Structure formats: C-alpha cells, structure tokens
Amino acid sequence: MSKPTESNTTPADTGDRAQDRRTSRRWLALAVLCLPVLLVSMDVSILFFAAPDIARDLEPSATQQLWIFDAYGFVLAGLLLTMGAVADRFGRRRILLAGAAAFSLASVLAAWAPSAEMLILARGLMGIGGATLMPSTLALIRNVFHDRAERSTAIGVWSGVFAAGVGIGPVLAGLLLAHFWWGSVFLVNVPVMAVLLLAAPLLLPESRGHGVRLDVLGSGLALATVLPVMAGIKGLAADGWNLPDLGWIVLGLAAGIVFARRQRTSAAPLVDPTLLRMPGVRPALTVNVIGQAALMGNAILLTQYLQSVLGMTALRAALWSIVPSVVVGAVAPLAGMLAGRVGRARIMATGMAVAAAGYFELLLTRADSTVWTCLVGATLIAAGLVCVLTLITELVVGTVPAERAGTASGLLETSSELAGALGMALLGSVVNAAYRSGMHDTASTLPGGAGRLAGGTLAGAVVVAQQVGGAAGEAVLATARTAYVTAMHRADLVAGLVLLVGVVVALTRLPRDRANNGG
C-alpha cells in the first residue's frame, strides 16, 4: 500500500498566493480605470487638428465653431458635481458603465454628424458621458486601494495617464487625419470603451454610499454657476476684457452664492459642508486651483510659441509637446512614494517651486531660440505641477469617507475645470494686452483691416505677413514674433509669482502628515 504523498504547501504559502492574486487584481482594475481617463483627457484637445476639415465639410458659423469646441468642456464641468453624487447614490461601477456606453454612442453620433448642429449636440452628449467617468474612476480607486501607499501610487498613475492624454490627443488626431476623415478622431473612443465595458464587471467591485440622496435643485444651481462662469472666462481669454463676458461671470457668481446657501440648508447637499471642514481640504482645493491654472495656461503659451514663433507645423509642434509628458509619466507615481518619506506638504511645495522655476526659465526664450530652450521650462512646469496635483487628488479622495468619494471627486474635478479656464483667461489676457502694446506702432502703419488683424493676435500677424509678402511681410512677422515673446515673458513672470504664493500655501496651510501606509 503506497504512502500518501505529503503536500509541501503550507497555509502561509496559500495565503501568500491569494494575496498576490488580490494585488494583481487591484492593479489590473487600475489599468481598466485608466482607459476612460485617457479618452476623456484626449477629447479635450483632439479636435485641434480636425477643425479645418470639419469647417470645410459642415460649414459652421463662427459661433457654431466655438460651440463645437466648447460644448464638451462646458457640459463636462457643469455636471461633474451632480454625477459624482449620482455615482455615490446608485453605484460607481454602474454609473461608470452607463457613462462609457453613453460616451461611445455619442462618439459614433459625432463621427457621422451631418451638420454643425448635430455635432454640437453630440459633443454635449459626450460631455455628459465624460462627467460620469471622471468622478467614478477616482471613487473606485478610493474603494479598491485601501492601503494609503498603494492608493497614492495608483492616483499617481491616474494623474500621469490624464496628463499624457492631453498631449497625445493632438498627435493621434494628426495621424488619423493623415489617413482618414475627421470623424475618425471620435471613433477611436469606441474600441477602448468596449474593452472597459467587458473588463469592468470582472475586475471592478460595485460600491456606493449609504443614505446618499440627490438634490435636484442644487444640481440646477451648480449648472447655473459653472456654465456662465466658464463661458465668461473663455470669452475674456479670447476677446480681452469686455462687459458681456464680465456679465456672464457675475451671473454665474450670483448663482454660486445661492448654490452655497443651498448646500448649507439642503438635506442632501452636492457639496457637503462637512467635507470642506475636514483638515486640509480647503487649502488642498486652493493649491489645486493654482496648479491647474498654471498647467493649462502654459499649454496655451507653449502651443502658440512652437507654431507661430518657431514656425512649426501643427503636427510637429504636437510631437515636440509630448516631450514633457515622458518625464511626467515617471514623476507622478514617484511623488506618492516621496510623500511617504518627507510628507505631502513638502513635496507639493517643492513641486510648486520647480514649476515656478520652469516659468522663470521660459524668460530665456527668444524668437530665434532652439526648441529645447522652451521645452526645458515646459518640462519643469509639467513635472512639478503633476507632482502637486497627484498628491492633491490623493489627499482629498483619501481624506473623505469612502461613501462620499464620488462627491469629493466631482468637487475636485470641477475646481480643476474652472481653474484651467481661469489660467487660460488670466495668462491669455496678459499676453493679449502686452502683445497689442508691442505691435501698436507696426499695426498703425498697415492699412485698416490688416492693421487690426496683425495688431490683435500673432496668428493674425502671420496671415497679414503672408498677404503682404516680401521684405515688408517678413518685417511684420519678425516684429510680431518679438512682441509675442515679450508678452509671453510677462505671462511667465505672473505665473511664476502666483506659483510662489502656492508654495507658501502648501507649507503653511496643508496638513504636515506623511502619506503612511495606513488606510
């Protein structure tokens, strides 16, 4: 009779293997959650290259063309708070899947839109889908990663993917448009969302808040606050200071006051006042606004400089602009690990200081500089600010109770959208005012419409220079490029000083705790 074989497997080995499977499952879940983040961030910028083809096929009016670009961002920003609460109420995975399906269907509608009106509608529907995706992904990360060190790394990856998507969008669009029609920039969303719809039920646990209710009136007031403010800020960035756009901002702020009062009295507030009273949440939102404004403001300055000053094609400029993203992809997860050693506040202050140094480095750029002069500054800005924003996200999402993670994520993302628009408006206004001053004498020598066009924007000066031609055209272009670089330097100085204020806020107002391994 043969002896039964003894197993070499101990209970500890079995436990280790189970733990390894759970760990692998968490990181696979993170990979799935990064898919919608990549697409939502890409869709902010993916239309940049497609605009000429859309204009040729659909012949939108000037107003319709603006709405084709802005409908997505406006709806996205206006619904983030509401959709965060909806995710808490009905289940984050369920809302994530519904948003992914809606985003896919709206993308197909946009790809084959027969008119400008239909494309605007499709972009708005994409904004609705996008608004469900962002808070749900962060809230699910909060519920999947209970260990704070792992959660910090996961949010670092999430932030790096989001930053990469903004840079990849124009490049991918350029490559698609070289071989396909403009609708292909929307269809790229569909297979990625199909992977999400298949994998999410297998890898993502359902989670929801208990006793969370929805405030319908508060949702309407949130829209009435965010949409006019966003429209006014974007108008100021494009046209300079004017009463109509200021009026929209005032209207939105008035609605915001009513919204704030509603949140204090509502039985189911979208922004629970107790969240804002938690240690570090308010200063974290302040730092987030400063960081997002500086990050998006630099994106506008860099794009103009590469294309209109250095004379690059749009695709070449987009390819060069990816360079900072390579560094960002490595830095974002590193920020979380360093915070565990020296504390979040110090790392955030250091990131702000590095970004400020990047803006100050851009003061070295000239109209005839090499591309690397501006890319060094842009890389310092991106790397420093992504460190800050990664830790801000981890602080806010990790601080609030798990059942309110969706609401907190919506609040954070809404502040980010508003801050990005504010950064573009503030730095854009500084650039526009300084550019017009620098071009005043040259523009006054040009006839009527040409003078106004060249004196208004650098892009206008490029058009006028081509029309004038010869040595006179070259002289107009050289003067315009110099005026723009001088104007950009003023905006760089403003941004750098604001970031130094952010350093002070981070060091004096943020909690001095370390991101330990506790849940």
Both structure tokens of 299: 């994106």
Q: How many CB atoms lie within 10 A of CB 53?
A: 14
Work out the percent of the chain whose per-residue pLDDT is above 90: 13
Mean pLDDT value across residues 376-399? 83
Long-range pairs, 299-302, Cβ under 8 A, ≥24:
299/166, 300/424, 300/427, 300/428, 301/362, 301/427, 301/431, 301/488, 301/491, 301/492, 302/374, 302/378
Q: Which pLDDT does position 160 carry in this prediction?
A: 73
Instruction: Give dist(CA 303, CA 428) in Å, integer.
Output: 12
Instruction: Give dist(CA 261, CA 282) in Å, integer.
Output: 17
Q: How confident is the model at residue 209 (pLDDT cuts 50, 70, 90)?
A: low
pLDDT exceeds cutoff 50 at 204: yes
| Type of residue found at 480 | A
If one compares 11 and 486, the residue with the highest pLDDT of the two is 486
DSSP state string for 408-419: HHHHHHHHHHHH
3-state SS, 350-366, equals HHHHHHHHHHHHHHHCC
- Report how far Cα 422 is from the mean position of its chain's Cα atoms: 12
Query: Roughly what angle, to the nearest 10 degrees, separates helices 11-45 and 62-90?
Result: 160
Asked if residue 517 lies in contact with residue 339, where contact means CB atoms within 8 angstroms, the answer is: no
Q: Which pLDDT does position 271 carry in this prediction?
A: 72
Q: Which pLDDT does position 20 carry in this prediction?
A: 56
DSSP state string for 192-225: HHHHHHHHHHHH------SS----HHHHHHHHHH
Both structure tokens of 352: 């702000």
pLDDT exceeds cutoff 80 at 117: yes
Q: Which pLDDT does position 10 carry in this prediction?
A: 57
Q: Which pLDDT does position 352 carry in this prediction?
A: 93
Instruction: Give dist(CA 144, CA 129) in Å, integer.
Output: 22
Ranges of each domain in the chain = 26-205, 271-519
Judge if pTM exceeds 0.75: no
Encode pLDDT of 63-110 as tens digits: 676 677 777 877 877 787 788 778 777 778 888 889 889 999 999 999
Encode pLDDT of 233-247 as tens digits: 777 766 667 788 888
- Report how far Cα 57 is from the mean position of its chain's Cα atoms: 29
Dihedral of the CA atoms 485, 491, 492, 493 (nearest 10)? 120
- Report how far Cα 518 is from the mean position of its chain's Cα atoms: 29
Both structure tokens of 514: 């370390």
Q: Which pLDDT does position 519 carry in this prediction?
A: 40
Q: What region does 273 belong to: left with phi over 0, alpha with psi -120 to 50, or beta?
A: alpha
Q: Which pLDDT does position 406 carry in this prediction?
A: 64
Mean pLDDT value across residues 284-313? 83
Long-range pairs, 317-323, Cβ under 8 A, ≥24:
318/48, 318/49, 318/167, 318/170, 318/171, 318/174, 319/171, 320/371, 320/375, 321/167, 321/170, 321/378, 322/167, 322/168, 322/171, 323/375, 323/378, 323/379
Question: Which CATH homologous superfamily contains domain 26-205?
Answer: MFS general substrate transporter like domains (1.20.1250.20)
Encode pLDDT of 38-47 as tens digits: 887 777 667 7
Tell whether the torsion through CA atoms of 139, 141, 147 and 148 is positive or negative: negative
Q: Which pLDDT does position 242 carry in this prediction?
A: 78
Which secondary-structure segment (H or E) carries 6?
none
Q: Which pLDDT does position 515 carry in this prediction?
A: 46
Q: Which pLDDT does position 298 carry in this prediction?
A: 81
Instruction: Give dist(CA 194, CA 518) in Å, integer.
Output: 35
Encode pLDDT of 211-220 as tens digits: 556 677 877 8
Longest CA pairwise span in the chain (Å): 109
Instruction: Give dist(CA 296, CA 389) in Å, integer.
Output: 12
Instruction: Give dist(CA 179, CA 309) in Å, integer.
Output: 28
Task: Residue 416: name the closest of 141, 149, 131 by CA.
Answer: 131
Distances (CA, A) of 493 to 288, 379, 488, 490: 20, 17, 9, 5
Query: What does CATH list as the number for 271-519?
Result: 1.20.1250.20
Range scoring the smallest mean pLDDT among 153-167, 280-294, 366-380: 153-167
Mean pLDDT value across residues 415-424? 76
Q: Which pLDDT does position 513 carry in this prediction?
A: 61
pLDDT exceeds cutoff 50 at 307: yes
3-state SS, 249-307, equals HHHHHHHHHHHHHHHHHCCCCCCCHHHHCCCCHHHHHHHHHHHHHHHHHHHHHHHHHHH
Q: How confident is the model at residue 405 (pLDDT cuts 50, 70, 90)?
A: low
DSSP state string for 110-140: HHT-SSHHHHHHHHHHHHHHHHHHHHHHHHH
Q: How confident is the model at residue 516 (pLDDT cuts 50, 70, 90)?
A: very low
At residue 340, φ and ψ (nearest 5 deg) are -65, -20
Encode pLDDT of 310-343 as tens digits: 888 767 777 787 777 777 767 767 777 787 788 8
pLDDT exceeds cutoff 50 at 518: no
Q: Which pLDDT does position 240 carry in this prediction?
A: 66
Rg of the chain taking only CA atoms, in angstroms: 24
Q: Which pLDDT does position 44 carry in this prediction?
A: 65
Q: How confident is the model at residue 373 (pLDDT cuts 50, 70, 90)?
A: very high
> What do you get for the CA distance between the two ends of the chain, in Å?
54
pLDDT exceeds cutoff 80 at 49: no
Q: How confident is the model at residue 222 (pLDDT cuts 50, 70, 90)?
A: confident
